[in-house]
Amino acid sequence: MRTEVRIERYADQGRCVAHIDGRVVFVRFALPGELVRIELDEPCDRDDRFWTGEVVEVLEPSDDRVEPAWPLAGPLSQGGGVGGADLVHVSLPGQLTWKAVTVSEQMNRLGHVDVAVPIERMPGDEESGGLNWRTRIEMIADEQGKPSMRRRGTHVRVPIDTMPLATRTLLDVAEREQVWDGGFEPGAQIRLSVPEPRNIAAHETQRDNFAVLIDGVLNAGSQLLDEQVTINGTVFNYKVDANGFWQIHRQAPIALATHVINLVNGELDGNIAPVIWDLYSGSGLFTLPLATLTGERTRMLSVEGARVAVKNAQRNLRAMNLSDVDARAGDVSKTLERVPAHLSRPDAVVLDPPRAGARAKVCRQIAEAGARVVVYIACDPTSLARDTATLIAEGYTLKNIRAFDIYPMTHHVETVALFTR
């Protein structure tokens, strides 16, 4: 069913809100203030609490509207529908406004704090129009064995021969490894991971620093990738599993780790022997700089659920002779129930949980351990806002909050919040 609506405001998941006869409709590819014709998703029953739909025609456009730079990810009615870039119809400044409003709204609604959270763009993104930032991409092989993406609301797989959000280095590797030519098992998951070269000389001798994984199994390149991150002038080298977690935007590891270190150092106030926890620590992106760039005799506990990532974190720590870090594999909440005495009273806690957030139990465990400083890195502002309410109830104050646009063209945003008590 098609109908005309006036778009009111931003909602979640890259959608906006409109109303039809008092009923909420979540609309894809819309912008506040616009008058648009939408196609409602079927089924839309009288008893539904809300409906969803997508813009098919823009009658009165917003100033923030642009032609999609990647039409395949745009609206279905314009031949798009493959997902992966739900703000592709929004100008780059408009994307920052969208994210700033949604983060502030969530912090207000669920965290009960009134803060403006401007969003900071990553270096290079303006020049590349919000494209060419992903160091990791995933696709599915279609019936002909070619890389493809599924068109929303259908079983149709659209073959693709490029990925505009991928870095130029990744696209070069894909070309060289003839990934776009196909030859994969239909239905297979194809994942490419290509570290961003930070050092041109090293890059030339590191032609195998990439991975093509098919259904999680290495098909070409290396299982163990070399990532390099420079933080406040110090170079850190990381071994990372090609299947494991690593920040996707080519600039995110630098921007996030630098900000985290600066926040922690700003709060430790010259403490030369602090105890620091790094929770949800992955391969040690924050652990290594926290262990070396804070106090002279910093002692640390890091906790990560993925065993392979912990093995790599331990390898990364050994390579830097960092013996004062107890890098543990396990669930964060369970591990925090049995922390060795010398690490049990942290001065600062850094946590970077998955999308669902740390949840109330972990926030309370952090508070009970007596941490004065908490640095929370969040990929979902809704979870951050919920956990903010718990931390505030535990006596913390939100002292600083910044957000980073490490997912251009999508509604996703990374927020870093500093709490003190």
Ligand X SMILES: C[S@@+](CC[C@H](N)C(=O)[O-])C[C@H]1O[C@@H](n2cnc3c(N)ncnc32)[C@H](O)[C@@H]1O
Binding mask 191-230 for ligand X (x = CB under 6 A): ----------------------------------------
Q: How far apart are CA 103 and CA 156, in angstroms?
A: 34
Using CB under 6 A, which of the segments 22-30, 152-160, 175-183, 282-290 binds ligand X? Answer: 282-290
Pick from 102, 247, 388, 410 the residue near ligand X by CB under 6 A: 247
Angle between helices 381-393 and 92-109 (to 10 degrees): 30
Applying CB under 6 A, does 352 fall inside the site for ligand X? yes
Which of 171, 406 has the CB closer to ligand X?
A: 406
Residue 77 is encoded by which pair of tokens? 């009615």
Angle at 254 between CA 105 and CA 380, to 5 degrees: 25
**Shortest distance, position 363 Cβ to ligand X, whole Å:** 13
Check the annotation: does 227 bind a ligand: no
The size of the interface with ligand X (CB under 6 A), counted in residues, is 18
Cβ closest to ligand X, residue 332 vs residue 348: 332
Q: Minimum CB separation from ligand X for residue 377, in Å?
A: 7
Quick one: which segment of 30-38, 195-203, 244-252, 381-389 binds ligand X (CB under 6 A)?
A: 244-252
Whether 137 contacts 420, CB under 8 Å: no
Which CB atom, from 116 or from 356, has the smaller least distance to ligand X?
356
Neighbours of 203 (CB within 10 A): 15
**148 touches ligand X (CB under 6 A):** no
Closest CA to 148 of 177, 115, 180: 180
**From CA 298, how far away is CA 276, in angstroms rounded?**
7
Cα 367 to Cα 419: distance, rounded to the nearest angstrom: 11
64 binds ligand X (CB under 6 A): no
Q: Is 106 annotated as a binding residue?
A: no
Asked whether residue 247 is marked as a ligand-binding residue, the answer is yes
Residue linked to tokens 């007596």? 370
Residue 383 binds to ligand X (criterion: CB under 6 A)? no
Measured from the CB atom, is 26 or 376 closer to ligand X? 376
Q: Is 305 in the site for ligand X (CB under 6 A)?
A: yes
Is 44 among the residues known to form the active site? no
Taking the least distance from each CB to ligand X, the nearer of 107 and 252 is 252
Contacting ligand X (CB under 6 A), which of 31, 87, 119, 285? 285
Residue 358 binds to ligand X (criterion: CB under 6 A): no
Structure tokens, 353: 């949980």
Is the CB of 36 or the CB of 403 nearer to ligand X? 403
Given 79, 354, 370, 395, the residue binding ligand X (CB under 6 A): 354
Q: Which of residues 5, 107, 309, 349 is near ligand X by CB under 6 A?
A: 309
- Residue 151 gets which letter from DSSP? P
Assess 282 for contact with ligand X (CB under 6 A): yes
Concatenated DSSP letters of 165-227: TB-HHHHHHHHHTTGGG--PPTT-EEEEE-PPPS-HHHHHT-TT--EEEETTEEEEE-SEEEE
Interacting residues of 189 by C-beta distance below 8 A, sequence separation 6+: 138, 139, 140, 141, 213, 214, 215, 216
DSSP reduced 3-state for 388: helix
Q: Which two tokens stand for residue 107?
A: 């912090």
Of 71, 68, 70, 74, the C-alpha closest to 54 is 74
238 is in an annotated binding site: no
Where is the binding site for S-adenosyl-L-methionine, in residues? 247, 280, 304, 352
Q: Which residues are annotated as a binding site?
A: 247, 280, 304, 352
Binding site for ligand X (CB under 6 A): 245-247, 280-282, 285-286, 303-306, 309, 331-332, 352, 354, 379
Which residues participate in catalysis according to the annotation?
A: 379
